[in-house]
Chain A
């Protein structure tokens, strides 16, 4: 006889490392594309856990003026990846996360989760869970009741509840605090409870809203590693919101850098850091020296750029036109500082203005042709005479491979 699924039936127990198969969820066939007014506007990638399709969100401020918090966001988050939304406060990253959770509705566009259109679906009917910035633990419930809350709402049988809660507490290593109340826990422990409370539901996607921002630096670094490991073990898709570029670089498989409601650049950490496309990304992720110039000549992908420091050669010239105004970007640690000018080309004569000693490296603030530049030099030997002095004239050598051409913005 066929078993009739009942309201209390939560289906077979899903092991933590199970990858959700979007085509089989609830027996409903997953959608493969999004149409608008009968016209197919976007195909959905089959390995996407989340697809955000042309989402617009605005708020009507005082006087009826509308501010766009999200301006045409379109992205795919792959199944099982650690995805970060990185940007300064007010860039729309938290709003985007709240749209995924279902706390807000987009003005336009679609939110597809696990192959299902979730755009108008309220939060309690979505198979996603959130770890809140403030943790938002229930103060009147102890740790294990907090963690069991989601299972209780889904009417999971008591025995299975106990089992899953115990496993979740184990996986974030707070099993010994099971009967404490949230106000008897430290910040780091609360963070773990919030995490356990979310992952115990085995969501398709776990949303994390700056979960580490309230912790001190040392604990934050510890939890960064732990969180990344946890994500790998569970295989759940993580969407992580942060304004801390280092945090994003350390933990993420891919990062979307957001600014003013738009995605500036999306890619792997190395791509974003080594090949920033815009001045915003170049400066938000680490720091950069930006040098304006004009394209003088082109030779395949190589280009000669005329700047105030003289002609500079770059190997990232694909797609440029002669006469085009461009901005060059070079990371402070990718310039070589030399005492003597050996004149091999691509060098800038500069004067040392200030030296910041940070332990692992010296940061030199330099002046060249009226422009401020920064160079980092590793402190590899104690008392080495490579250290430069104030007011010293130096040559900065810019390797053509490290000189990135930014898009105009």
Chain B
């Protein structure tokens, strides 16, 4: 049996850390989502299911069901998905390009990739307004995508890059030797080796993109509100923390559902069979 001492010595610190910084705040939010807004940005009893009804689309004022949240959520998913796809298309070749340079150039390129982080994210997104204004692109959905790719491409490139760095290129030769055309040799010999980085990169891009509100707020305008904007609104101007908490749980549910679906269907084996 696992004694308390052994627990504290082994998995204890990690578990305590997770409990303190992840489980407890989540529980607080869960509790909030069942409370009532008593004043602007204040919560209190009574316990109620009202916020969850609103999340599901029940309009208490007109006493009818509306699909606004579903629409916003759907928009968030496809905007995040398309942004991630754009990041993959741009970042995957970029990671190869960087990894195949000599050591000096490689470090320089990685530095260039990281330098933008030295400036505040908000300021960088505002800078895009100045860049895009002459083209009359702000606010628009196109500007949102541009901002998303700009914001998340480094998070995609870095994990892929670290996979590419470790590639055993002899497998490419082995595949070609066995009769695979260059494209098939890449798919069989190299691509599987980048899978861990690719999956990590996609997760690191898609999840923040799904919850983002800065980019869509500044570059997208009101018509392209994402679930992140709605949540931010509840915690900010609207001051409705219970509703914001419930919406946050909806988002978290979508993410977990996606990860679970990936683990179930497209785990290691599924992806292999694709190739």
Contact = CB atoms under 8 A, between A and B. Distances in A.
B177 A101 contact: yes
Secondary structure class of chain A's binding surface, majority of residues? loop
Interface size, A (range): 20 to 34
Nearest to B195: A140
A130 B189 CA distance: 15
B170 A136 contact: yes
Given A140-B272, A149-B188, A201 B179 contact: yes
Given A136-B168, A138-B188, A140-B192, A103 B180 contact: no
Contact of B185 (A101, A124, A141, A197): A124
Leading 6 A-B pairs by shortest Cβ distance: A150-B178, A136-B174, A153-B179, A123-B176, A136-B170, A140-B192
Interface of B: 168, 170-171, 173-182, 184-185, 188-189, 192-193, 268, 272
B181 to A, nearest CB: 6
A290 B184 CA distance: 54
A177 interface: no
Contacts of A198: 178
Nearest to A153: B179
Nearest to B173: A103
Contact of B171 (A101, A124, A136, A154): A136
A149 B170 contact: no
A129 B174 CA distance: 9
A150 B171 CA distance: 13
A339 to B, nearest CB: 57
Contacts of A137: 174
Contacts, number: 64
A149 B176 contact: no
B170 A123 contact: no
B197 to A, nearest CB: 14
A100 B189 CA distance: 21
Given A124-B178, A124-B179, 14 more contacts: A123-B177, A124-B180, A124-B185, A132-B170, A134-B170, A136-B171, A136-B173, A138-B175, A140-B192, A141-B272, A149-B175, A150-B179, A153-B184, A197-B178
A129 B176 contact: no
Interface in A344-376: none
Which of B173, B182, B193 has the most A CB atoms < 10 Å from its CB? B173
Contact of A138 (B173, B174, B176, B182): B174
Interface in A116-141: 122-124, 128-130, 132, 134, 136-141
Interface in A254-289: none
B176 A122 contact: yes
Nearest to A122: B176
Interface in A86-120: 101-103
A141 B269 CA distance: 10
